[in-house]
């Protein structure tokens, strides 16, 4: 299990990285934390000829708050997100989610930019980007682009990024103080990619949802911002309403089959998550009764 | 941890002042390993050493039409590319059968496939290069032309007349069949109030050692000697087989096993790729290294446990179990493994089902079939988890049917603690077991009644917890009955040599091996205790056929019981020899003297008489001062093998307490208990950690581990992301308790403890899941118990 031979350069600036990417085109790959790229190379599932290591670009690492925008540099590590007071204050959903990403050794190296660029449909952070209404900032030879999260993820391991583009940062609106969130995933072992997961951000006023963004993951080829959430906004949620939303959610899902679960099981689990999420966000244990498909 | 002694008599040689027996002492090899100074095969670098990478078959069954290595040969660093046919010039094929497994058959297997591949992952060619990476680059360019053949993958249809026969010369795909019929099963079933049947399904899984299999083979043409560095559990077995198939004498082969990073039975077999590495060294006359990578490990390390077992139990309304009947089927891959064969697991299932219970009525059939999947063979607790899951699953189903508590039905049927010696319905002889004492202790440890109360209180809140109990027996300390009688050159005896060096320290050479379970530690504890020296003075040498007595090694829970007894007996002789010399020097008698804390003392008052270092100085450097006629022998060797009982059975009982989320099918393990009886406990910590590690492997089988093959014989999860090993986050606390019934076959009294944990863990978990699901009328008899299976059983998906 040795990677095939490749050339390697350590970028000294974003401009340098972009130059290298332009020069080597499709043959090149960006290396960030290496926690997805290197296993794929060692298994020879991937054999890039040129590695552009962006690991030393300190300018891409860190979390800042300006006004009501939270900016996370692409090289910010999972472990940084977990510890960041800014994240805890303004996007606690992300902190809760990151605790489910892999294990400490991997979180010490893996980066948010790498996770988003990897676009694994079972990955936590992409779904959080949908729930948090993030904007992804990319820079390429022709300058910078701002891409809405729900336009960024294009399929299994596919994104809107061009091969010569670098993911620079993500921007999140600072969540209102009274905003609440819910995160849960079903994984066989803690730290595994989810069988099905849900990252939700909500505004609850007077026992009703004033806003509800449901970012499901591992329910299709990309994370899903569930439109069915709309059925729960500004209404008194009853078991009947929830059941309606649940069947509407079912329509939106196109789950894949793998060794962990059949599509039917994923649909079932997504609906369990919806029910538990709504019940938890509205503090309504009465909504949490048995689910059947 | 608590211990109760069922046999309070003290054992003289062990019950000495400052004895280390029964004490938790740190393992002497810990510092070496913790400081990164271990020496694993992967660490070994020899001059002119080259690396072998195997080109492996992508097909489960195919004819090799041609191999074109011309492009690969041009790649940088490539030394040689060798096909199976070319390698056959230096190594002969083998057949994995044993004569005591009557009717067993298998086909000749080659180190590298010739003409035909029989499983996905079988080696087709060897690429030898200066580095592993160069070898892998070149291997990609070896082009093999295959013609795919029908693959036999489903064990259920392997014997159908319409299914292809994998080895035409064998006539069919049946490797082995055993039938057993004891008592009057039909009559007993007819007279039962209830007869319950179920089919138990066990997922194929594997050992996943942290360090993969690894070999450095070094043929020294000048000496005409092959040195094999290998992480093996049985060095003398490897020596015998390497010599046999390379046309050498055993004296021409030295096997060295330094540190081994986990084994669990994976590394006790002879693998084709390892044989190829020995042969390549001989062919190329230079050291050759093979280190399996993770994907190779999944595709070629033995798998185990792929069984489907139909079971039947008869029970009377008063709880009396009247009979057991089983029909077991297992698929073992295309070849029976060498030299232990792949029929032992099924054979053990037949041996062990019903083993803890009184009933004499037992009928069993086991069939072992060939298939085009990776080879299966003995892995930790061979056959036990299957036998235990079937037996204990049936017992619980019977209890459920007649409305009896699972503890109560066991109390009424387990063999009484005072009924020994006796035999099981399959004819196994038991010297002394303690099922009832163990069960009583377990019930206390887990506070069974309180747990039942908690369970019913939580049910009212829609929280579904389950309690599962599993009694078991474990085969340990095997005599020659295991392999020797079948013709395998696998020693069942072990030897230990101990000597006093010139400064009064002790060097001990033992034929058992260390793979992390503490063989070194327990040997030093025994030697130190029996001799009367501190453990830091005892150096243990193991894992080298040139430098240890001849013996079996460490497997089948035999290291402590057999190798430990040899250490005890050898040390007793050394002690006597030392005291004889001391008596001569001190003008006393040996009976008046003892050795305590590295000093010869007077027995009556403990007064120090002479330091061992001083005694050794006199013996080695001033023998002229000794009385005439005294010839000190400060080295002693003894061997041991159990003779009276073919196996020293141990017993125990496990319990699981878990939560089933009925909406999601997820199981959360809350707590696990084990009470076991391995006889004399040499090092409580080592025993408890063996139990815990074994339980974790059993829990892996219960909930997570499975080699997933598709219908074409492709292993689809040969990596650590998709093959789920149990991880600490999902593991419950495991409480371990003991009952102590020493075996009287040895002075040490130790039986094995290495497999007890694995034997019963999955059964306890499955029973607990079914207990939790009782209100829903769902019963599951398949492991791993995945959420998918549980949701399906609940009718939720
Ligand atoms: C055992 C294990 C378990 C894991 N479990 C999980 C899990 O449960 N959930 C989860 O989400 N992830 C999991 N991961 C993956 C982990 O989160 C990775 O860190 C992450 O997916 C990739 O981040 P990275 O920085 O390591 O990226 P790399 O591996 O360096 O790169 C990944 C991909 O992104 C590209 N890339 C990286 N940075 C940029 C950039 N700035 N601009 C453009 N392209 C870029 C690379 O070219 C490559 O294609 C696991 C990994 C391992 C090894």
H/E element holding A106? helix A104-107
Q: Do residues A279 and A197 share a domain?
A: yes
Which of A125, A141, A175 is the C-terminal boundary of a domain? A175
Report pLDDT digits (tens) over B30-48. Answer: 899 999 999 999 999 999 9
Q: Do residues A203 and A84 share a domain?
A: no
CB of A129 within 6 A of ligand 1: the answer is no
Which of A129, A155, A175 is the C-terminal boundary of a domain? A175
User: Which pLDDT belongs to residue A290?
Assistant: 55
The residues, ordered by sequence, that sit 6+ positions from B251 with a Cβ below 8 Å of its Cβ are none
- Please state, rounded to an integer, the average pLDDT across all residues of chain B: 96
**A293 within domain boundaries:** no
CB of A48 within 6 A of ligand 1: the answer is no
H/E element holding B70? helix B70-73
Contact B788 A4 (CB under 8 A): no
Number of domains composing chain A: 2
For the complex shown, is ipTM > 0.90?
Answer: yes
**A140 within domain boundaries:** yes
**CATH number, residue A211:** 3.30.390.50
* Residue with CA nearest ligand 1 atom 33: A118
Report pLDDT digits (tens) over A21-32. Answer: 999 989 999 999
CB of A30 within 6 A of ligand 1: the answer is yes
Which of A195, A290, A293 lies at the smallest CB-CB distance from B797?
A: A293
User: Which pLDDT belongs to residue B12?
Assistant: 55
Residue B710 near chain A (CB below 8 Å): no
Domain extent at residue A222: 179-288
**A16 within domain boundaries:** yes
CB of A102 within 6 A of ligand 1: the answer is yes
Which of A1, A3, A259 lies at the smallest CB-CB distance from B722?
A: A259
| Cβ contacts of B790 on chain A, cutoff 8 Å | none
Q: In which residue ranges of chain B is pLDDT below 70?
A: 1-13
Of B721, B722, B724, the one to substitute when testing ligand 1's pocket (max ligand atoms within 8 A of C-beta) is B721
* Residue with CA nearest ligand 1 atom 3: A102
Counting DSSP H helices and E strands in chain B, the numbers are 19, 32
Report pLDDT digits (tens) over A54-75. Answer: 999 999 999 999 999 999 999 9
The DSSP annotation for B573-631 comes to HHHHHHHHHHHHHHTS-GGGEEEETTEEEETTT--EEEEHHHHHHHHHH-GGGSPTT--
* Residue with CA nearest ligand 1 atom 19: A110
Ligand 1 centroid from CA A111, angstroms: 6
Give the gap in angstroms from C-alpha A290 to the nearest C-alpha of chain B.
6
Of A13, A48, A81, A118, the one to substitute when testing ligand 1's pocket (max ligand atoms within 8 A of C-beta) is A118
Q: Do residues A7 and A84 share a domain?
A: yes
Q: Which residues pair with B476 in a beta bridge?
A: B648
Residues B415-422: contacts with CB under 8 Å, at least 24 apart: B415/B356, B415/B357, B415/B358, B416/B358, B417/B6
- Residue B422 CA to residue B59 CA, distance in Å, equals 50
- Residue B555 CA to residue B343 CA, distance in Å, equals 17
> C-alpha B662: how far from its chain's center?
36
**A73 within domain boundaries:** yes
CB of A113 within 6 A of ligand 1: the answer is yes
Cα torsion through B264, B265, B268, B270, rounded to 10: -120
- Residue A127 CA to residue A119 CA, distance in Å, equals 10
- Residue B508 CA to residue B539 CA, distance in Å, equals 6
Structure tokens at B391: 């037996």
Contact B137 A195 (CB under 8 A): no
- Please state, rounded to an integer, the average pLDDT across all residues of chain A: 96
Give the gap in angstroms from C-alpha A20 to the nearest C-alpha of chain B.
26
pLDDT value at A293 more than 90: no
Report pLDDT digits (tens) over A74-104. Answer: 999 999 999 999 999 999 999 999 999 999 9
CA angle B23, B25, B26 (to 5 degrees): 160
CA angle B649, B654, B657 (to 5 degrees): 170
- Residue B41 CA to residue B209 CA, distance in Å, equals 14
**CATH number, residue A69:** 3.30.465.10
In chain B, pLDDT over 90 holds for what percent of residues?
96
Beta-carbon neighbour count of residue B160 at 10 Å?
A: 12
Residues across chain B: 797
Q: Do residues A257 and A276 share a domain?
A: yes
User: Which pLDDT belongs to residue B8?
Assistant: 40
Which of A175, A190, A215 is the C-terminal boundary of a domain? A175
Residue B58 near chain A (CB below 8 Å): no
Ligand 1 centroid from CA A100, angstroms: 14
Give the gap in angstroms from C-alpha A207 to the nearest C-alpha of chain B.
25
User: Which pLDDT belongs to residue A1?
Assistant: 83
Q: Do residues A149 and A191 share a domain?
A: no
Q: Do residues A151 and A11 share a domain?
A: yes
The domains located in chain B, with CATH, are 8-38+493-640 (3.30.365.10), 42-149+212-260+266-300 (3.90.1170.50), 379-477+645-789 (3.30.365.10)
Q: Do residues A198 and A270 share a domain?
A: yes
The answer to whether the bond into B718 is cis (omega within 30° of 0) is no
CB of A164 within 6 A of ligand 1: the answer is no
User: Which pLDDT belongs to residue B17?
Assistant: 72
Contact A2 B132 (CB under 8 A): yes
CB of A32 within 6 A of ligand 1: the answer is yes
Contact A261 B788 (CB under 8 A): yes
User: Which pLDDT belongs to residue B1?
Assistant: 38
Q: Do residues A159 and A235 share a domain?
A: no
For the CA of A77, the closest atom of ligand 1 is 25
Q: Do residues A24 and A141 share a domain?
A: yes
Q: What are phi and psi of B646, to 5 degrees?
A: -60, -35
Which of B136, B662, B797 lies at the smallest CB-CB distance from A264?
A: B797
Q: Do residues A138 and A207 share a domain?
A: no
Ligand 1 centroid from CA A33, angstroms: 7
Task: Decide: helix, strand or coil at residue B528.
Answer: helix
Residue B708 near chain A (CB below 8 Å): yes
Q: Do residues A153 and A116 share a domain?
A: yes
Nearest to A261 by CA among A121, A59, A117, A79: A121
User: Which pLDDT belongs to residue B14?
Assistant: 73
Q: Do residues A162 and A219 share a domain?
A: no
**A115 within domain boundaries:** yes
User: Which pLDDT belongs to residue B720?
Assistant: 94
């Amino acid at each position: 299990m040795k990677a095939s031979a490749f050339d390697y350069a350590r970028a000294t600036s974003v401009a340098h990285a972009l130059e290298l990417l332009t020069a080597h085109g499709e043959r090149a790959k960006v290396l960030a934390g290496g926690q997805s790229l290197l296993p794929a190379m060692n298994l020879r599932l991937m054999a890039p000829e040129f590695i552009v290591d962006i690991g030393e670009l300190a300018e891409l690492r860190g979390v800042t708050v300006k006004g009501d925008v939270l900016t996370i540099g692409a090289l910010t590590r999972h472990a940084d997100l977990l510890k960041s007071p800014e994240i805890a204050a303004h996007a606690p959903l992300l902190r809760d989610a990151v605790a489910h990403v892999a294990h400490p050794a991997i979180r010490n190296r893996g980066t948010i930019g790498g996770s988003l660029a990897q676009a694994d449909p079972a990955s936590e952070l992409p779904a959080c980007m949908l729930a948090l209404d993030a904007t992804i900032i990319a820079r390429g030879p022709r300058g910078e682009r701002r891409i809405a999260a729900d336009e960024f993820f294009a399929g299994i391991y596919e994104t809107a990024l061009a091969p010569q583009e670098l993911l620079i940062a993500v921007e999140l609106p600072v969540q209102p103080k009274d905003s609440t969130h819910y995160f849960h995933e079903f994984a066989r072992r803690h730290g595994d990619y989810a069988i099905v997961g849900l990252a939700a951000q909500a505004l609850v006023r007077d026992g009703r949802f004033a806003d509800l963004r449901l970012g499901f993951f591992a329910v299709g080829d990309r994370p899903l911002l569930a439109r069915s959430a709309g059925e729960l906004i500004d209404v008194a949620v009853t078991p009947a309403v929830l059941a309606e939303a649940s069947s509407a959610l079912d329509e939106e899902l196109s789950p894949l089959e793998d060794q962990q679960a059949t599509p039917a099981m994923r649909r079932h689990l997504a609906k369990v998550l919806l029910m538990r999420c709504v019940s938890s966000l509205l503090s309504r244990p009465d909504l949490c009764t048995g689910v059947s498909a | 941890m608590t211990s109760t002694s069922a046999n309070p008599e003290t054992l003289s040689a062990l019950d000495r002042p400052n004895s280390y027996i029964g004490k938790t002492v740190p393992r002497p090899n810990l510092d070496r390993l913790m400081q990164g100074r271990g020496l694993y095969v992967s660490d070994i670098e020899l001059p002119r050493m080259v690396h072998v990478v195997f080109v492996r078959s992508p097909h489960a069954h195919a004819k090799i039409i041609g191999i074109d290595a011309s492009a690969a040969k041009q790649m940088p660093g490539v030394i040689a590319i060798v096909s199976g046919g070319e390698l056959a010039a230096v190594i002969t094929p083998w057949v994995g059968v044993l004569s005591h497994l009557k009717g067993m058959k298998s086909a000749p297997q080659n180190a590298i496939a010739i003409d035909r591949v029989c499983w996905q992952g079988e080696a087709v060619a060897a690429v030898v290069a200066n580095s592993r990476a160069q070898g892998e680059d070149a291997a990609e360019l070896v082009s093999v032309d295959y013609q795919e053949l029908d693959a036999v993958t489903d064990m259920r249809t392997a014997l159908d007349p319409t299914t292809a026969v994998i080895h035409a010369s064998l006539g069919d795909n049946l490797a082995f069949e055993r039938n057993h019929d004891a008592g009057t099963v039909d009559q007993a079933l007819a007279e039962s109030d209830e007869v319950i049947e179920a089919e138990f399904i066990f997922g194929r899984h594997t050992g996943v050692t942290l360090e993969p299999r690894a070999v450095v083979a070094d043929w020294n043409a000048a000496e005409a000697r092959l040195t094999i560095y290998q992480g093996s559990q049985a060095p003398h077995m490897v020596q015998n087989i390497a010599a046999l198939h390379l046309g050498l004498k055993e004296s021409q082969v030295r096997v060295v096993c330094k540190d081994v990073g986990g084994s669990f039975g994976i590394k006790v077999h002879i693998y084709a790729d390892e044989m190829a590495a020995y042969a390549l060294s001989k062919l190329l006359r230079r050291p050759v290294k093979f280190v399996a990578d993770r994907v190779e490990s999944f595709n070629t390390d033995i798998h185990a446990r792929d069984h489907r077992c139909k079971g039947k139990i008869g029970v009377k309304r008063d709880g009396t179990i009247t009979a057991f009947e089983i029909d077991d089927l297992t698929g073992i891959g295309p070849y029976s493994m060498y030299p232990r064969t792949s029929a032992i697991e099924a054979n053990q299932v037949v041996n062990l089902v019903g083993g803890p219970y009184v009933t004499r009525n037992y009928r069993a059939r086991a069939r072992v079939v060939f298939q085009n999947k990776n080879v299966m063979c003995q892995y930790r607790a061979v056959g036990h988890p299957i036998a235990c899951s079937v037996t204990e699953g049936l017992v619980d189903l019977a209890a459920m049917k007649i409305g009896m508590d699972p503890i109560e039905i066991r109390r009424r049927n387990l063999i009484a603690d005072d009924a020994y010696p006796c035999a099981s319905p399959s004819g196994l002889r038991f010297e002394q077991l303690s099922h009832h004492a163990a069960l009583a202790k377990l019930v206390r440890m887990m506070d069974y009644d309180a747990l039942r109360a908690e369970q019913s209180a939580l049910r009212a809140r829609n929280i579904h917890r389950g309690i599962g109990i599993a009694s078991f027996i474990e085969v340990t300390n095997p005599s020659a009955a295991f392999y020797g009688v079948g013709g395998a050159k696998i020693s069942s005896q072990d030897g230990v040599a101990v000597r006093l060096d010139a400064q009064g320290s002790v060097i001990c050479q033992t034929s058992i091996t260390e793979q992390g379970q503490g063989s070194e530690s327990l040997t030093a504890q025994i030697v130190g205790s029996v001799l009367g020296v501190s453990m830091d003075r005892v150096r243990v040498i193991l894992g080298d056929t040139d430098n240890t007595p001849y013996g079996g090694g460490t497997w089948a829970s035999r290291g402590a019981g057999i190798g430990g007894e040899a250490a005890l007996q050898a040390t007793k002789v050394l002690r006597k020899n030392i005291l004889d010399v001391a008596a001569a020097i001190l003008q006393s008698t040996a009976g008046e003297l003892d050795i305590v804390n590295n000093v010869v003392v007077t027995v009556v008052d403990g007064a120090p008489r002479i330091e061992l270092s001083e005694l050794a100085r006199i013996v080695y450097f001033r023998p002229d001062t000794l009385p005439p006629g005294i010839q000190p022998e400060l080295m002693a060797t003894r061997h041991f093998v159990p003779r009276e009982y073919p196996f020293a059975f141990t017993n125990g009982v496990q319990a699981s307490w878990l939560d089933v989320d009925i909406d999601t099918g997820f199981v959360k393990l809350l707590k696990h208990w084990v009470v076991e009886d391995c006889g004399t406990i040499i090092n409580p910590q080592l025993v408890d950690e063996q139990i815990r590690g074994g339980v974790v492997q059993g829990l892996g089988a219960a909930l997570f581990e499975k080699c997933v093959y598709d219908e074409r014989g492709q292993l689809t999860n040969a990596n650590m992301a998709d093959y789920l090993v149990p991880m600490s986050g999902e593991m419950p606390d495991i409480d371990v308790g003991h009952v102590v019934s020493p075996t009287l076959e040895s002075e040490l009294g130790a039986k094995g403890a290495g497999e007890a944990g694995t034997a019963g863990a999955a059964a306890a978990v499955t029973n607990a899941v079914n207990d939790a699901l009782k209100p829903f009328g769902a019963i599951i008899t398949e492991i791993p118990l995945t959420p998918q299976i549980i949701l399906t059983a609940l009718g939720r998906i």
